[in-house]
Amino acid sequence: MKLFNENIDKSKNNIKELKKPEFLTCQECDKEILKELVHSNLSTCVYCGYLFRVPAKKRIEMIADENTFVEIGKGKASTDPLQFPEYDEKLKKAKKATGLKEAIVCGTCKIGGYNTGLAVMDSYFMMGSMGQMVGEKITDLAEVCLEKQLPLIIFCASGGARMQEGIVSLLQMSRTTVAINKLNDAGLLYVTVLTNPTTGGVTASFAMQGDIILAEPKALIGFAGPRVIKQTVKDDLPEEFQTAEYLLEKGMIDKIVERKDLRNSLAHILSLH
């Protein structure tokens, strides 16, 4: 006698399939942690405090006053100006993985009650690389800040210029510089927060042009990548080379701020300007 009817129509099964939980591995302590748990804990390792990279939308939640963020340029996406091989596939992947159209989210919001422009780069989108649209979203936001007389805060997280957009990516270094210059001429405050990693053409342009430059602890910040430098000098790199702490010692940044204190720090700076 059969105990179970094996011919039950499984398509009528109403039990929803549970989404497979995603785990992240901490680079510091090697422990595996539930991704949702990490990102609900300020994107920090619950065991050792290692700072994971923060998705742009999560960062905005951490920094902006609740319900005040109004996004600008949400639909802007790369036009693949060079028709670079395999670039469209990489873009599709990045869009699917992040839910974003580009490696930066821009808008206006309040922080501690102060109105400001806020741009947050997302290193999960093609390593936060800067192409035509990242540059354009920044210049558009700077234009809004100029019109509305707002300060501008940019959270930087980038592997540098986006290779697949070639010279068009490099051009964004000039364009963002001009946008920042216009804010300077208008006497508007510009603050950058350097997060892990901030490198290449982003470092050599708008990231290091802040009136005030903050950084997260141990963030990798530099112009050339550490591997390239090691290959060039054919020697070991100094301890803590290209970390936020190293840059502070060399006089390149103003302050290292713990992730949990960034909101208050920014509110404080805004209150002083």
Partner 1 sequence: MQAYISKDDTYNDVSSAWKNVQTARMQNRPQAMDYINALCQDFFEVKGDRCLGDDNAIITGVGRINGRTFTIIGQQKGHSIDEKKACNFGMPNPAGYRKSMRAIRQAEKFNRPILCLIDTPGAFCGIEAEAKGQGTVIAEHLQLIASVKVPVIAVILSEGGSGGALALALSDKLLLLENSYFSVISPEGCASILFKDSNKAHLAAESLCLTPKDLKKFGIADDIIREKKDYSRDNVTYAVYKLEKKVEEYLKELDKYTGDELVAKRYDKLLNMKGFN
Contact residues toward partner 1 (CB under 8 A) are: 79, 81-82, 84-86, 132, 139, 161, 163-171, 173-175, 177-182, 184, 200-201, 203-209, 222-224, 228-229, 232-233, 235, 237-238, 241-242, 250-252
CA triple 140-142-147, angle to 5 deg? 95
Closer by beta carbon to partner 1, 176 or else 265: 176
**In the complex, minimum distance from the CB of residue 243 to partner 1, in angstroms, rounded to a whole number:** 11
The answer to whether the CB of 55 falls within 8 A of the CB of 42 is: no
**In the complex, minimum distance from the CB of residue 165 to partner 1, in angstroms, rounded to a whole number:** 8
Closer by beta carbon to partner 1, 123 or else 205: 205
**In the complex, minimum distance from the CB of residue 2 to partner 1, in angstroms, rounded to a whole number:** 56
Closer by beta carbon to partner 1, 32 or else 86: 86
The answer to whether the CB of 42 falls within 8 A of the CB of 260 is: yes
The answer to whether the CB of 230 falls within 8 A of the CB of 204 is: no
Give the DSSP H/E element, type plus range, for residue 190. strand 190-198
**In the complex, minimum distance from the CB of residue 232 to partner 1, in angstroms, rounded to a whole number:** 5
- Compute the 3-state secondary structure of the chain and give helix, strand, coil in percent, each to the nearest 5: 40, 20, 40
The Cα–Cα gap between 146 and 142 comes to 6
Q: How many CB atoms lie within 10 A of CB 72?
A: 17
Two tokens at 219? Answer: 């963030």
CA triple 259-265-266, angle to 5 deg? 100
Closer by beta carbon to partner 1, 16 or else 250: 250
**In the complex, minimum distance from the CB of residue 226 to partner 1, in angstroms, rounded to a whole number:** 9
Closer by beta carbon to partner 1, 112 or else 166: 166
